[in-house]
Structure 1
């Protein structure tokens, strides 16, 4: 298939769409030049978007941005005065939505039965809305004269994504129509027939079969649109972004700026390497990931996480299997079930006397070559404090040595926060390898070398992580900040195994850990009537702030709410340091 506009567009971003050497994968996007970590590899405009009903009064239904409540210059969302169901941030967004689709669906709320149907969040309604909007754009494109279509941009310059680029990408997608179950195809035919009954769709000249194919493409290619806190607020058809293949250990991520999707590098990508994103959360067992990918995307993943001949494959050996829906139902029905005791055991270990945060930090200090006794199972505390010696900051400094600068000026408070008091990797005890891959490989082998007992808590299991994450949020909500720091450290270690260190989920968690650490310091100072706390508390806070900044700027960027939050937290700390 000839894709001249798409090929030129991708080439302007130093990318190429080529046939993959693995015929099962079809096509892939590779880097034509080295791509640096944190850079926006390319952008993707939506062919169509749908806001989830629960969010329609919070986000602009066209640009998907949310007014900043604290800004006096920003107007609140304005509701369409006729249908009273759609919200827009300004006249420009309303006009664009009106020209695109809103003119066809905007009806007086008192007489529109369709608005009542749209109030539900059922899949048929969302799929029908998406299908209508895509059909409108495809139909208009088909009716457009070729000489009225977009011209090619200047060679050598990054180009804007034109309608021709978007449509070429969309019409080249795979929907695996022949692989879809019969009941799914019947459902799609029913939705397509309902959409074709509407005059503005029927006039486009599209057939039921074409609409069914579009629905199949949605299932295999659509994205969940997320706000700046990574909560899902809508669905979108992003043809250019859909060209990127999946990996459970991706080198790029899809990040949203309103309705615009950015593909951002989270590692340095050399020339000639494929650029990949994750279609599903990597914090699932291999069994669950493979099942989801087969059922939704119709392929068997053979990435480095899904094969046993790489150390990444050992991560799934560590994580084990996760709870099924049946397991969760059994726990609800039978509270005495031993699996429900997992959270109780976590609370016991975190809140008990055996986990003294200061004492554990002194024992595992990166200078004493201290590891837990090899004859005893790992506990949450020994696991977290042992592996923080290997991971923080060495996983990050293997990509950015600036993090290991020591002996900051006593008069430069910003430098005190940015710089961590850690030995260089060759001098660290226990020994730390020089590269991130070597650090992970060594740590996986060490974790798996410890004995485990049936029925006992195993720190690196997914079931433990799931229960610990719930406990973490509960501790933060209840203001138990020292416990939040403890369990937050443990979760950070787990994330170091599961995600690349510059992944947005890692960045988000490090920011929460920094907040918990600061609140813990304030809480402890109040309990100690303002007496100076041990320096280790400040050092811990510095660490999480520095790693938050390092990770956030490469994932969310310096224009994000996360960057503003971490700078405010840093400023508060520096102010308190000056006052002391």
Structure 2
């Protein structure tokens, strides 16, 4: 029995409302995704992860050495490696060789979509229509990633495998709440200035990949745009990290003070090595419109650790490694419940991923009364501290709405001034644009 209900609120649309008193740290719900998928670039650069649940399949030693770009770096306390139990039982598809953290994940993937989506011996064949589609997407959508065309590939495979196609389509429809002008802005955000031409290229490749009659309802121009809009406005960013899990484990050990200080110094050094390995602009607010959490919130354990160790978030924000040296296994998913939660600049709940996979857990940040709307922040902690003008600008650009939460209403008469931090973001965006320009 859930402790909430989904209802329509005038001016807010669908909303999640508490039906019982919730206390701080109460788990409001846990949810597996309707569909999830690793980002295209994240997968291309070899971040080892379960193809179904995105659980990392990389040892802490492999992870730290890769991130720090030091193949011989010594790693202490490897007996607390969070992936050890999964690496003992991981398995793979016998045809295409994608890896799974367990037999359970392999069977679930096969049952839901992999029987259709498996490329078999064509997995690394760039001439295969699915691979061509993915390569076209990658050339349009460089890191930091906010989505992947592979999510739509998996959705169509799920549809073909579904025993109840009516229910599947109803679930899919429940995500769609866009109007045309919002769709245009979402496409622009995902694909850039030339989004109309790029949408056409993607559409042609998409139709080539799904030519069967069973997919005809998804391959009209209108249906394809709806699917792209659905991904752009409802997907939740997912990030799992071997490093974050290991740090959490070892920092909780009852070590002697001297050993604890040495461990703290080692962890500090690792994070700085990671940051210096591949400096690149990374704006945290781009997980997607209804993703409800920016990367800083998704990988909470990492940033909580950094905060506790007094490592300034702006350092990590500007120097998080992506492309060849991803800090996390990153992907995206669609969640039937989570997608119904609205934003507030004073959130009373938070999305977390405590199991190092794609299962989302919603926790209360404070007591929530019966009848009170349950809200999360679509912004990270740093963005929430900015001026109302800056917050509204980010929300309009990335989430296509004007926030009217209590905090925004309380600050309605504040001057329309841009927070100082936003100038840093603009500089970061220019750097990212230059990087993408060199890649095109």
Shorter-chain TM-score: what band?
Answer: 0.5 to 0.7
Instruction: Give the Cα separation in 1 of the matches to 2:177 and 2:4.
Output: 20
Shift of 1:302: 1.6
Tell me: CA distance 1:74–1:221, structure 2 relative to 1, closer, same or farther (3 Å).
closer
* SS in structure 2 at match of 1:181: helix
Q: 1:236 aligns with which of 321, 333, 338?
A: 333
Q: Name the SS of the counterpart of 1:180 in structure 2.
A: helix
RMSD of the TM alignment (CA)?
3.8
Q: Which of 47, 56, 61 is residue 51 of structure 2 equivalent to? A: 61
Shift of 1:244: 0.3
Distance change in 2, residues 1:315/1:175 (3 Å): same
Contact 1:249–1:282 (CA<8 Å) still a contact in 2? no
Hey, what does 2:422 align to over in structure 1? 322
Give me the whole-angstrom Cα distance separating, in 2, the residues matched to 1:91 and 1:200: 32
> How far does residue 133 in structure 1 lie from its aligned partner after superposition?
1.5
Q: Does 1:260 align with 2:359?
A: yes
Q: Are 1:210 and 2:205 an aligned pair?
A: no
**Secondary structure in structure 1 of the residue aligned to 2:215:** coil
Cα gap change, 1:278 to 1:110, in 2 (>3 Å): closer
Question: 1:348-387, CA deviations, whole angstroms, 9 ceiling, x for partnerless residues?
Answer: xxxxxxxxxxxxxxxxxxxxxxxxxxxxxxxxxxxxxxxx
- Whether the 8 Å contact between 1:220 and 1:296 is mirrored in structure 2 is no
Q: Secondary structure at the match of 2:107?
A: helix
5+ residue gaps, structure 1: 1-11, 150-162, 332-580
Larger Rg: 1
**CA distance in structure 1 between the partners assigned to 2:101 and 2:226 by the alignment:** 33
Change (3 A) 1:201 1:300: farther
**Structure 1 partner of 2:156:** 135
CA displacement 1:188-221 (0-9 Å, x = unmatched): 4543442232247652342322232121121111
Work out whether residues 251 and 267 of structure 1, in 8 Å CA contact, stay in contact via their aligned partners in 2.
yes
Contact in 2 for aligned 1:31/1:274 (Cα 8 Å) = yes
TM normalised by structure 1 equals 0.45
Q: 1:112 to 1:316 in 2, by over 3 A?
A: same
- Which residue matches 1:17? 6
Q: Tell me the secondary structure at the aligned position of residue 352 of structure 2.
A: strand
Q: Which string of whole-angstrom CA distances, capped at 9 and with x for unpartnered residues, describes residues 405-454 of structure 1?
A: xxxxxxxxxxxxxxxxxxxxxxxxxxxxxxxxxxxxxxxxxxxxxxxxxx
Give the counterpart of 1:32 among 2, 19, 22: 19
In structure 2, what is the Cα distance between the partners aligned to 1:83 and 1:196? 23
Alignment of 1:395-474 (within 5 A): none
The 3-state SS of whatever aligns with 2:5 is strand
The within-5 A match list for 1:352-363 is none
Correspondence for 1:171 = 174
User: Given the alignment of the two structures, is residue 94 of structure 1 paired with residue 106 of structure 2, yes or no?
Assistant: yes
2:296 maps to none
CA distance in 1, matches of 2:368, 2:160: 38
Count residues in correspondence.
298
- Residue 48 of structure 1 aligns with which residue? 35
* Structure with bigger RCO (C-alpha 8 Å, 6+ apart): 2
SS in 1 for 2:368: coil
Partner of 1:249: helix, strand, or coil?
coil
Mark the CA change 1:134 to 1:315 in structure 2 (over 3 Å): closer, same or farther: farther
Compared CA separation, residues 92 and 272, structure 1 to 2 (3 A): same
- From the superposition, tell whether residues 191 and 318 of structure 1 become closer, same or farther in structure 2 (CA, over 3 Å): closer
**TM-score of the two chains, using structure 2 as the length reference:** 0.57
